[in-house]
Amino acid sequence: MSEDGDAIPGETDGPRGPRRFTVMVCRGPTCGEARGSAALTARLHEMVERRGLGEQIAVLEETCFGHCMRGPNILVYDTDEAGGARVFGPGLGAPSAVLYNRMTVADLEKVVDRHLVGGMVVRPFLNRPPARDP
Ligand code: FES
């Protein structure tokens, strides 16, 4: 384990090629427009396209992960590990699934570089304390 990241269980690359990930952004009534989750989704699509990761990274939206006070949240999991099914939270259908809390557009660079490309969980973005809305 490094200071700010853990390797994700499983292969990083294998005979099938680079590891594939699904990134789901919550867009529910609490995390949605009020906290800028639309900007997160748009930026993720842009980054994936610009880096040519469209074959490996799927960016989706979900209504809610049940952690609204920590939102906006981003769930990341290994697409193949989940058998192509949607996963709705850590420990639900894919052991690799992690939920990043209180995400900002500025945080996304690290998630893409370290997790989606580098295969390391970005620990400082996990279990962030709930936000206090004005
Ligand atoms: S609306 Fe984002 S976790 Fe509930």
Locate the DSSP E strands across the chain: 5-7, 13-14, 17-18, 21-26, 57-62, 74-78, 98-100, 120-122
pTM (2 decimals)? 0.88
Domain boundaries, the chain: 17-83+92-125
* C-alpha 99 – ligand 1 centre gap (Å): 11
Q: How does pLDDT run along the chain (134 residues), one tens digit per residue?
A: 455 566 665 545 454 568 999 999 999 988 888 899 999 999 999 999 999 999 999 999 999 999 999 999 999 999 999 998 999 888 888 899 999 999 999 999 999 999 999 999 999 999 999 977 66
* C-alpha 65 – ligand 1 centre gap (Å): 5
Domain 17-83+92-125: assigned CATH number = 3.40.30.10
Q: Which residues on neighbouring strands pair with residue 57, listed in sequence order?
A: 21
For residue 72, give the ligand 1 atom closest to its CA: 2
Pocket lining: 73 vs ligand 1, CB cutoff 6 Å: yes
For residue 67, give the ligand 1 atom closest to its CA: 3
Pocket lining: 30 vs ligand 1, CB cutoff 6 Å: yes
